[in-house]
Structure 1
């Protein structure tokens, strides 16, 4: 089971060739992560209360097929790697076109930052326990 985000490609997200522009793939993946984290109670209200936010160290996109304007996309988000305290993590997003064809793979490595101290921190234990319940990829690694 994986958490699925659905979106619709709009005019502002296409390039001169009428394809989904490169940075829009990353935008969709970011929105999928935010939606996925919100299912755990890690929403913006919680982030503000904890003075905490997710940051990325790496974002890698592999483009497989074209995605066009007015297409509906579906993103499956899977945890590929995480530390036991949830402090560092990797997520793989599989982006599918409306016709079910896999169009892109987006891999990200991230962590949590204390927005006041500007330092990396682990999640509070209760939230880390929830974070570790996210759907996992077949090649998942617990560190």
Structure 2
């Protein structure tokens, strides 16, 4: 399932170069990732009830085009592959002209919340990967 959210670039997200600070793109993607979890029926509290958490272990991001104050951006999230204890989500950010602003692959790992060690993906999460 592919999901997307829309945001408007705020003044606090702009750096001295007059465009969105690179770290903010990671926040945008995190917001979209949380929306993806919610839309798949796996919000934070469901994982907690299973005794499982997800942690980000790697991000490979490409900055393609600058975004500026007031622009409306669409951030999408979709599952692309899974392993035994990890999975990869793809994010894309587009501007109002449908130009790719940034894209990333984010690798997450599922962990046992008490032991703080990796565990196999719960079947509820694994089911969302082809």
Q: TM-score w.r.t. structure 2 length?
A: 0.89
Hey, what does 2:66 align to over in structure 1? Answer: 66
Comparing 96-105 and 48-57, the one that deviates more: 48-57
* Distance (Å, rounded) in 2 between the aligned partners of 1:53 and 1:23: 23
The one of 98, 101, 106 aligned to 1:100:
98
Post-superposition offset of 1:97: 0.9
The corresponding residue for 2:109 is 111
Give unpaired runs (5+ residues) of structure 2.
none
Aligned residue in 1 for 2:122? 124
- How many residue pairs get aligned? The number is 130
Residue 2 (structure 1) aligned with residue 15 (structure 2): no
What CA deviation, in whole Å up to 9, does each residue of 1:60-101 have, x standing for no partner?
Answer: 211111100111111122222213x6x311111111012211
Q: CA RMSD in A?
A: 1.7
**How far apart are the structure 2 equivalents of 1:10 and 1:47?**
31
Cα drift, residue 128 of structure 1: 2.7
Q: Please give the per-residue CA displacement for 1:27-75, whole angstroms capped at 9, x wherever unaligned.
A: 1111111100111111122133223221112112111111001111111
TM-score, structure 1 length as denominator? 0.82
- 1:126 and 1:76 mapped to 2: Cα distance? 21
CA distance, structure 1, for counterparts of residue 95 and residue 82 of structure 2: 28
Q: Mean Cα displacement is larger for which, 110-119 or 47-56?
A: 47-56
